[in-house]
Amino acid sequence: MGYFNPLLQWGCESFCNEAAKVGVDGLIVVDLPPEEALELHRPARKAGISLIYLLTPTSDGERIKRVAKLASGFTYYVSITGITGASLSGIDAVEKQIRLIQKNIPLPVCVGFGIRTPDQARKVAQVADGVVVGTSLVSLLEKGKARGAKEVVHQVRQLKRAIL
């Protein structure tokens, strides 16, 4: 997961070839919309690397169709509008958008952004194919190496129990 500029500076084909050699099987390039992705899309596919595109609550039918033409691996649904670390408020709107995406894209839909608690993860797992938790785990790590790492392990175990 990263931004397009470092890949562009490296060279898309060279980056994809090197990434494939070390076992990368998918890329989430958060600032690369499908309309501008062909420069990375072709070498990624050639190297066997999936490009995972982001869809949001504001993604309309046209955007979903555009992503459907290029996506591979899975689709990453950003469950909230706003910034990473904000909290997920309700599941109804998320479920509605996931169903729309699933009608148009034959790939798993993973949901991220705003998921902090085991209860939120459980609710999202009931309507999505995968759950992504990031910011809340990074926040735990910021507490310090030993303490933070133990809390991350504990939190991940709780999240796992909630979704199984």
> What pLDDT digit, counting tens, does each position of 8-27 carry?
999 999 999 999 999 999 99
Kindly report the pTM of this predicted structure: 0.85
At residue 6, the pLDDT reads 96
In whole angstroms, give the CA distance from residue 112 to residue 132.
4
Residue 130: name the closest of 69, 64, 79 by CA.
79
Mean residue pLDDT across the chain: 90
6 C-beta neighbours (distance < 10 Å), count: 10
Q: Which residue has the higher pLDDT, 137 or 100?
A: 100
In whole angstroms, give the CA distance from residue 160 to residue 146.
21
95 C-beta neighbours (distance < 10 Å), count: 16
Residues 27-36: tens digit of each pLDDT: 999 999 999 9
Whole-number percent of the chain with pLDDT over 90:
70
At residue 59, the pLDDT reads 92
Residue 70: name the closest of 105, 100, 103 by CA.
105
In whole angstroms, give the CA distance from residue 119 to residue 163.
9
Q: What's the CATH number for 4-132? A: 3.20.20.70
Q: Please give the DSSP secondary-structure letter assigned to residue 82.
A: S
Domain range annotation of the chain: 4-132
82 — phi, psi (to 5°)?
125, -150
